Amino acid sequence: MVFTVSLFMVIQYFVPLDSWAWMYQYLIDWTIIIGVFALLLGIWSLLRVNWGKISRRSENWGYAVITLVGLFVMLIFGFFPGGGNLNNYVYEHFFFYILVPIQATMFSLLAFFIASAAFRAFRARSVLATLLLIAGLVIMIRFVPMGPLSEPISDLASWILKVPNLAAKRAIIIGIGLGAVATALKIMLGIERAYLGRD
């Protein structure tokens, strides 16, 4: 199964004919649809875990109730009154006034964490750590106006971004490319089978 479909995907890359493109589109569509079926499994797991917490009255079980209430309110309004579209008041407002602000705020926590990570980890412990530190500092102080020093710092920052950055990223990408290809081959040949749940 794995070998057949994966071989097809490899070969279709080289064949520009309609019939092949058509098959390719089908395969892609199918994987997406199967993915949605899997979401049901996810919801099931979520219910199971939270219901477990509630019925055991384990610590913080009250919050499990909140999760389930949020889930059901959203599901009910998402499925029933919509009539095929999701433009109903509750669904949209839950999205805009609950999901969007929390999401944006979680994302903005990064501003704080990037500062604390820099504070904690940018220490001159070893040669490598010092290099990391210096490169990071150069890029950061390029923001700060520093009179006559600004020019050389900004030049150095550009150089770091243009030269070592290019070399390192390219080396990593080639490594990843080869590793990915090797893994794909191992899957095709049936050597890598962990994804099937056994070794």
Partner 1 sequence: MSKTKMTAWVVFAFVIIAFAVSVALKGALVTVGAFLTLFIFSFLYKDNPYYKFAEHLFVGVSAAYWMCMGFWGTMVPNLFGKLYPPMVGGVLPALKDNPAEPFMIIPLILGILLLMRLAPNAGWISRWALAFIVGTTAGLNLVRYLRSDFIQQINNTTFSLYISSAAGFDFGQTMSNIVIFIGVLCGLIYFFFSKEHKGAFGAGARVGIIVLMVTFGASFGYTVMARISLLVGRMQFLFGDWLGMIK
Partner 2 sequence: MNIFDRMVALDRRWVFLFLFVVVALAYFFRSQFSVGVVTTGEVESIYNFIENAQPGEKILVSFDYDPSSLAELHPMSRAIMLHCFRKGVKVVTVTLSQYGAGMVEEITREVSAEASELYGREIVYGEDYCFIGYRPYPAFVILGMGENFRVFFPRDYYDTPLDEIPIMHRVRNYDDLKGVIAITSGTTSDMWIIYGNARYNMPLSLGVTGVMATDYYPYLGNALFGLIGGWKGAAEYEKLVKQEADANEGMPAQVVAHLTIVLFIVIGNLGYLMTERKKKITV
Partner 3 sequence: MKYILPGFLVALLLLMALSVTAIAQEQDETVGEDVDTLMQPIEQEPPPKPVITAGEDRPNDNGHKLTIYWDYPQEATGKIDYFEVYRAESPDGEFKLRGTSPSNYFEYFDIGDSDENAEDYLENDKDLYYKVVAVVEDGPSSESDVAGPYHAVGQWFHTGKVPVMIAVIIFAMFTIYFIQSARKGKDLFVRPLAGIEAVDEAIGRATEMGKPILYVLGIGTAADIATIASFTILGRVAKKVAEYQTDLIVPCYDAIVMSVAQDVVKSAYLEAGRPDQYSDDQVFFVTNAQFAYVAGVNGIMVRDLPATNFYLGYFAAESLILAETGNSIGAIQIAGTDQVTQIPFFVVACDYTLIGEELYAASAYLGRDPLLLGSLKAEDWGKAIFMVLLAFGVLAVAFGWEGFREIVRVNL
What is the longest distance spanned by two Cα atoms in the chain? 68
Radius of gyration from C-alpha coordinates of the chain = 26
Give me the least distance between CB of 124 and partner 1, in Å please. Answer: 12
Comparing CA positions, the residue from 122, 129, 125, 66 lying closest to residue 98 is: 66
Number of residues that bind partner 2 (CB under 8 A): 33
Say if residues 136 and 128 touch (Cβ distance below 8 Å).
no
Angstrom distance (rounded) from CA 182 to CA 195: 15
- Using CB under 8 A as the criterion, what x/- string covers residues 156-175 for binding partner 2? -xx--xx--xx--xx-----
The span from the CA of 12 to the CA of 5, in Å, is 10
Binding site for partner 2 (CB under 8 A): 111-112, 114-116, 118-120, 122-125, 133, 136-137, 140-145, 150-151, 154-155, 157-158, 161-162, 165-166, 169-170
Q: Which residues of this chain interact with partner 3, rule CB under 8 A?
A: 10, 13-18, 21, 31, 34-35, 38-43, 45-46, 48-49, 52, 59-60, 99, 102-103, 106-107, 109-110, 113-114, 116-118, 120-122, 132, 169, 172-176, 178-187, 189, 191-192, 194-199
